[in-house]
Amino acid sequence: LLVVGKREAEEGTVAVRTLGEKEQRFMPLAEAIAMLKAEATPPDLR
């Protein structure tokens, strides 16, 4: 789950909350996009 509020928009970051985890991580938007692309790639294509 990506959370983007006013603060994140101003800072160019997103809050990432992973299913099953209680804590969220903050990271730059570009880093979050790269992470999502990597996770969306099927294992046989990595």
Q: Where are the domains of the chain?
A: 2-45
**Residue 29: how many other CB atoms lie within 10 Å:** 15
**Residue 14: how many other CB atoms lie within 10 Å:** 23
Question: CA-CA-CA-CA torsion for 6, 9, 10, 12, nearest 10 degrees?
Answer: 150
Grade residue 43 by pLDDT with cuts at 50, 70 and 90: confident
Residue 24: per-residue pLDDT: 92
Residue 23: per-residue pLDDT: 93
What are 17's two structure tokens?
């909350």
Grade residue 45 by pLDDT with cuts at 50, 70 and 90: confident
pLDDT, tens only, 8-42: 999 999 999 988 999 999 999 999 999 999 989 98
Residue 1: per-residue pLDDT: 87
Q: Give strand ranges (E) for 1-45.
A: 2-3, 13-17, 24-28
